[in-house]
């Protein structure tokens, strides 16, 4: 048996998405910037996809800009948002994805901004009182806080963050890569200026995503070239990817409640089985289902010999997962997220992330292998 439990890294392409993309690949090859019939047909597909996404998110199609994925969207929101609005202060957390934290740190190093980190607790929860203090004590800020942590699964109350940012005239960017297609976002109510998506996190194709830019915010392009994306991103559009992205989001919304209940049950089942069969096991991040992304379970195992070989041994046993441990020194290459919440560097940690394709049989198989590996290495 081969078990895939790394869906937070990427997901399998949905067959219906592939069919939709393949149909376009077979019949459409025009450049969407061309004004002749071949170009107009492809342009129609792009705008239809944009409208599909906008309708599901309760926003205007004019606020959806297609990108190569989440990393580009994060970089565009952060760099252009800060520079074009002449902001000199940014707030983030030490739990953010590297696409966010490395971008902000590079801008701090270049002297563009002063960077502040909001406090987090041992479960990865944001200290909202500290966030408000940072907003009060500094001039107009750029705030970047993710909706769900990609390693821990801990959810941030982005509605509350949005309210705080509005009260203090701050720009708010949220990396929502792990939650678009898994939770419903109502952008007619959510007070966010920038929000991002990567198609491959929701059974869509790699190499495509979007950046939502609230109509109240004006920024310049990060990538210059042609007039694509209403002069906001130069480069011929990835038509097949865009069509696949729209189909993936459409499918995700149609099946969201059913899949959320099913995947949450799998996560809870695995947690219970691990507690029963692996003495000393601990869980990182929030375990309350209301405060945790239902697709992610981060597990710390007891100290063991060859702890750094746990993921390798799982792979040999037929199980794909990801993880690591907290950094024990400044030179270690470990998880910056686990280090930030004070996790023990001596305990190996594994992130198991689930999708609609996983089964209880796969969970039983995985837990049995983990029990065996922990006993051997005790």
Q: Hey, which residues are catalytic here?
A: 327
Alpha carbon distance 128, 131 (integer Å): 5
The rounded distance, in Å, linking the Cα atoms of 8 and 201 is: 7
Strand 194-198 and strand 209-213: the pairing is antiparallel
What is the C-alpha to C-alpha distance for residues 107 and 146, in angstroms, rounded to an integer?
A: 19
The separation between the first and the last C-alpha atoms of the chain, rounded to the nearest angstrom, is 25
CA distances from 88 to 96, 142, 194, 302 (A): 20, 8, 18, 44
Torsion of CA 220, 222, 227, 228, to 10 degrees: -120
Cβ-based neighbours of 32, under 8 Å, separated by 6 or more:
39, 42, 43, 46, 228, 236, 237, 239
CA–CA dist 246, 21 (Å, integer)? 10
């Amino acid at each position: 048996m081969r078990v895939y439990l790394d869906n937070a890294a990427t997901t399998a392409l949905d067959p219906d998405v592939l069919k939709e993309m393949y149909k376009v690949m077979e019949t459409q090859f025009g450049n969407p910037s061309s004004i002749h019939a071949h170009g107009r047909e492809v342009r129609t597909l792009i705008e239809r996809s944009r409208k599909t996404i906008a309708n599901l998110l309760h926003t205007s199609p004019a606020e959806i800009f297609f990108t190569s994925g989440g990393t580009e969207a994060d970089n565009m929101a952060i760099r252009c948002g800060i520079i074009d609005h002449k902001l000199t202060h940014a707030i983030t957390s030490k739990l953010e994805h590297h696409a966010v934290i490395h971008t902000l740190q590079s801008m701090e190093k270049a002297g563009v901004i002063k960077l502040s980190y909001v406090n987090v607790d041992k479960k990865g929860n944001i200290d909202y009182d500290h966030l408000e203090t940072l907003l009060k004590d500094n001039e107009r800020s750029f705030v970047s806080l993710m909706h769900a942590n990609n390693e821990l699964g801990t959810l941030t109350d982005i509605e509350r963050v949005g309210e705080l940012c509005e009260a203090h005239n701050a720009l708010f960017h949220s990396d929502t890569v792990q939650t678009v297609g898994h939770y419903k976002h109502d952008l007619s109510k959510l007070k966010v200026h920038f929000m991002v998506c990567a198609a491959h996190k929701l059974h869509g194709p790699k190499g495509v995503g979007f950046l939502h830019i609230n109509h109240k915010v004006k920024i310049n392009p990060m990538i210059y070239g042609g007039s694509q994306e209403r002069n906001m991103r130069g480069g011929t559009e990835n038509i097949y990817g865009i069509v696949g992205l729209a189909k993936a989001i459409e499918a995700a919304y149609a099946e969201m409640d059913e899949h959320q209940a099913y995947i949450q049950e799998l996560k809870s089942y695995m947690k219970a089985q691990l507690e029963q069969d692996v003495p000393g096991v601990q869980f990182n991040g929030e375990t309350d289902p209301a405060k945790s992304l239902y697709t992610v379970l981060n597990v710390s195992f007891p100290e063991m010999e060859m702890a750094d070989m746990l993921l390798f041994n799982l792979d040999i046993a037929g199980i794909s997962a990801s993880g690591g441990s907290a950094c024990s020194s400044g030179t270690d290459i470990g998880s910056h997220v686990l280090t930030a919440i004070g996790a023990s560097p001596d305990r190996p940690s594994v992130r198991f992330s689930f999708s609609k394709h996983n089964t209880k049989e796969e969970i039983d198989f995985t837990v049995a292998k983990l029990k065996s590996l922990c006993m051997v290495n005790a």
